[in-house]
């Protein structure tokens, strides 16, 4: 007996087909992703299975699109990757975009915001089937967009090698959407302007293409800046050290992100507002030294609230009216709590 397809599935399939049957090349990938994300999970898995059975370049392109969308459920993306790999084993190549168009393939970012520098990698599938990537070096501590280069046309194997090469540079890569890549690029260009830093020569030569593909890309509006790109496994000691470095380099966006949502400067404020509050608070403060010594004060491993109390000893340098530099010791007590899935600073007291 043939299994009856649920009525809700038929309605969702009609809506999906209506979107996919637009004029070739005119489908808004953002709208398509939203449509897929709203599907019943079982129906979405059913769609991936049926598409994979087609074993055509168009099917491979559809699976590739699903696998690269970070807003889709992990299970659906994993299924799409597995199906894409199975199709590739049969010798089916991904369909190139229609002539004159290109398709965003995937984006990756180093998850190490606490280090002050990150590599951003964005790739596009070109009409001929090759891949072209932009590689950005984001410096949040004075240079803004520190370096940039565009790759030559890459095969799929070379693209995967490029991703693996950047994974080997010591920081985990996380996937980002084109909208998130746009937000990051806009923010780092603002830092370049704020510090009056010249843009890299190759970026200037490629600026028109970057603007078209990223900054003015249709269907990829700037994303929220609320997503965290801190390393997921920072210890309380590492959080405090990163906070000290942020004050030293006047990286107040990082300092704001290291504060818990219950910290007085964060409560009821957005990250941007907290960043501005920190910048105003530290405007006339002596320059903090980067290196500090952090030691536990109270053993709280059994604390049901997951608190950690640590003491940090460092230094700061003030410039007197005579121009003389005067160094003084800074001793502070930090209380950290779990804020979601990470450690964050709940309060800071001068000892």
* C-beta neighbour count of 5 within 10 angstroms: 11
Q: What is the DSSP letter of 115?
A: G
Least confident segment among 80-84, 99-103, 235-239: 99-103
Of 57-61, 95-99, 295-299, 321-325, which range is least confident?
95-99
Strand residues in the chain grouped as ranges (E) = 103-110, 117-125, 131-139, 144-150, 173-176, 287-288, 293-298, 308-319, 325-339, 342-350
Select the more confidently predicted residue: 221 or 170: 170
Q: What is the DSSP letter of 332?
A: E
- Cα separation of 237 and 243, whole Å? 10
Instruction: Quick: pLDDT tens for 276-299.
Output: 999 999 988 999 999 999 999 865
Reported as a single tens digit per residue, the pLDDT across 108-138 is 999 999 999 999 999 998 888 889 999 999 9
| Domain map (residue ranges) of the chain | 7-89, 103-215, 236-350
For residues 166-187, average pLDDT: 90
CATH architecture of 236-350: Roll (3.10)
pTM: 0.76
Angle ∠(232,237,243) on CA atoms, nearest 5:
80
Helix/strand/coil percentages in the chain, nearest 5: 40, 25, 35
Greater model confidence, 348 or 340? 348
Which residue carries 């397809």 as its tokens? 5
């Amino acid at each position: 007996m043939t299994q009856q397809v649920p009525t809700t599935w038929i309605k969702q399939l009609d809506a999906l087909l209506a979107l996919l049957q637009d004029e070739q090349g005119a489908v808004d990938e953002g709208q398509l992703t939203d449509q897929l994300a709203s599907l019943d999970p079982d129906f979405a898995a059913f769609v991936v299975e049926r598409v994979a059975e087609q074993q055509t370049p168009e099917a491979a392109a559809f699976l590739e699109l699903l696998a690269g969308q970070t807003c889709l459920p992990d299970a659906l993306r994993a299924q799409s990757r597995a199906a894409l790999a199975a199709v590739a084993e049969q010798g089916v190549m991904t369909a190139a975009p229609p002539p004159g168009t290109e398709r965003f393939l995937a984006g990756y970012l180093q998850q190490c915001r606490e280090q002050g520098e990150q590599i951003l990698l964005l790739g596009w599938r070109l009409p001929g089937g090759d891949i072209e990537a932009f590689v950005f070096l984001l410096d949040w501590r004075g240079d803004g967009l520190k370096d940039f280069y565009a790759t030559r046309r890459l095969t799929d194997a070379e693209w995967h090698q490029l991703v693996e090469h950047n994974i080997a540079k010591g920081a985990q890569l996380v996937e980002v959407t084109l909208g998130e890549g746009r937000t990051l690029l806009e923010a780092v260009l603002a830092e370049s302007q704020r510090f009056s830093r010249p843009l890299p020569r190759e970026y200037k030569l490629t600026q028109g293409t970057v603007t078209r593909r990223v900054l003015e890309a249709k269907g990829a509006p700037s994303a929220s800046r609320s997503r965290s790109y801190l390393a997921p496994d920072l210890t309380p000691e590492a959080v405090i050290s990163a906070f000290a470095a942020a004050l030293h380099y006047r990286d107040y966006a990082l300092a704001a992100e290291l504060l818990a949502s219950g910290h007085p400067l964060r409560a009821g404020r957005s990250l941007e507002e907290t960043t501005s509050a920190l910048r105003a608070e530290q405007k006339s403060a002596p320059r903090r030294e980067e290196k500090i010594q952090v030691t536990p004060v109270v053993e709280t491993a059994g604390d049901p609230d997951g608190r950690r109390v640590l003491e940090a000893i460092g230094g700061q340098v003030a410039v007197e009216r005579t121009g003389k530099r005067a160094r003084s010791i800074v001793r502070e007590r930090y209380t950290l709590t779990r804020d979601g899935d990470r450690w964050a600073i709940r309060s800071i007291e001068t000892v």
